Amino acid sequence: MIYNSKFAHGIMFHRFKDFKNKDSAHGALTSKCLTKLIKFVGKKRILNPDEWIRKLSEGKLKKEHICLTFDDGLKSQIKIALPVLKRFNLKAFWFIHCNTRPNNFDKSEIFSILIIKKFKIYKKFLDKFFKYLNIDSEIFESKSFKKYYKEIISLHNFYSKNEVKYKFLRDIYYPRKKFEKIMENFFRFYNLNVKDFYKNTWLDKKDLINLNKKGHMIGMHSFSHPYKMSKLTIKKQRLEYLKNFNYLKRILKKKPISMSHPLDSYNKNTLKILTNIGILCGFRSHSKAPKGFQINQSELEMAREDPVNILKLIK
């Protein structure tokens, strides 16, 4: 089977694991998976970031063109994925948020690690967590949930219904700080402290500098990685991206020109902000065209495919 595509797009990666790492997160890929994917897709059609940006700007991207993208700036990406890219002589986009400091970090990433560390199987975690919450099941009969479920499954049909329920509680139902508190208390019941797993989760400044020197492109992914960027005021959105922009500019000594939308959340205000600060290319987190629109609506709304869908084709 040949990997066919009807439009240029990125492939979106997050977490990676090796066979020795017992603290890997749900959905993490191995180097073997990445190698299979690159061979299946075809190395010759994968563009390095500079070439992708150039062709995009000149209107010369073709339907067979693909690029590789890594979100969230995770340490596992350079430990497991980077050596594979080096073997194939490939460069990639790396989209970095700033919510990685010791006293202020993205706890949802650590939750993903703890889920697998304690329960091994994601379904076991979900069963225990829903019992712990003892939440009214009617929440999942609401119009709000049904709409959310339909949207998620239409874009990512590999999620189970319980996984979507968890995402709904995290992203929609609870305020972010309240949900994080619930999760922290849940794991304390199992004698697991979120702060104990902060170390070596995210790339540091030296990692970003080294990636940049090797020809990879470091781009933006917001400052605090909000769950719903589109719900923020234009002032807060601008602050999210300006702080992210300046952070990367200070480290790399140059302006970032690419980005990916955290959790695929953005609106017209977001696109205006990104255009005004000079971003040339932005990526969504799926490859479905909005009704009545073409798939890649603008340079800031380029499609991406989840590796899970591509690996299914290989099998």
Torsion of CA 57, 58, 63, 64, to 10 degrees: -90
Instruction: Please identify, among 167, 197, 227, the residue that sits at the C-terminal boundary of a domain.
Output: 197
Spatial contact of 62 and 7, defined as CB atoms under 8 Å apart: no
| 256 and 115 in a common domain | no
Spatial contact of 170 and 108, defined as CB atoms under 8 Å apart: yes
Indicate the pTM of the whole model.
0.92
Distance CA 288, CA 69 (A): 18
Q: How much is the average pLDDT of 37-53?
A: 97
* Three-class secondary structure of residue 102 per DSSP: coil
> Nearest Cα to 254, choosing from 221, 210, 217, 281?
217
| 92 and 204 in a common domain | yes
| 190 and 114 in a common domain | yes
- Report pLDDT digits (tens) over 151-201: 899 888 888 999 999 999 999 999 999 999 999 999 999 999 999 988 889
CA–centroid distance for 192 within its chain: 25
Instruction: Please identify, among 154, 170, 197, the residue that sits at the C-terminal boundary of a domain.
Output: 197
Spatial contact of 303 and 295, defined as CB atoms under 8 Å apart: yes
Q: Is residue 1 in some structural domain? A: no
Given a cut of 80, is residue 86 above it in pLDDT? yes
Distance CA 143, CA 136 (A): 15
Burial of 22 (0-12, 13-18, 19+ CB in 10 A): exposed
- Report pLDDT digits (tens) over 234-270: 999 999 999 999 999 999 999 999 999 999 999 999 9
* Three-class secondary structure of residue 104 per DSSP: strand
Distance CA 197, CA 184 (A): 12
- Report pLDDT digits (tens) over 215-232: 999 999 999 999 999 999
Range of the domain at 289: 9-102+200-314
pLDDT for the residue numbered 27 = 72
- Report pLDDT digits (tens) over 110-134: 999 999 889 988 899 999 999 999 8
Mean pLDDT of the chain: 93
pLDDT for the residue numbered 36 = 96
| 67 and 28 in a common domain | yes
Instruction: Please identify, among 155, 176, 197, the residue that sits at the C-terminal boundary of a domain.
Output: 197
| 232 and 310 in a common domain | yes
Q: How much is the average pLDDT of 273-288?
A: 96
Q: Is residue 71 in some structural domain? A: yes
Retrieve residue 237's tokens. Answer: 């959105």
